[in-house]
Amino acid sequence: MVDQPDDLRQIRSFHKALADVNRLRIVQRLANASATVTELIDHVGLSQPLVSWHLGKLRAAGIVTTRRIGRETICSLRPEAFSEAAVHERELLGMVPG
């Protein structure tokens, strides 16, 4: 088995996080404003465990952050994650701006 460099794994993780329609729907909702997990459940129509699982994938990829306020978990999009990933990907793949 060929060992994959960590930088390539990081790019793969980012793209895999966005390769699911339900996660894209969560990102789309969070692009408008932060939301509670309950609001995301209502938006995507999935169970709480599934929404939490999808949020975990998005957090691991650095796309979403969460914070607790009392009993609620507030989720926010990190819009800068997209430009950071694009710059990192271009650098790693040797694609310098022209």
Phi first, then psi, for residue 77 (nearest 5°) are -80, 140
Domains and CATH numbers, the chain: 6-87 (1.10.10.10)
pLDDT in tens, 4-45: 677 778 888 899 999 999 999 999 999 999 999 999 999 999
CA 62 – CA 64 distance, rounded (Å): 6
CA 47 – CA 61 distance, rounded (Å): 22
- pTM across the whole model: 0.85
The pLDDT mean for the chain works out to: 91
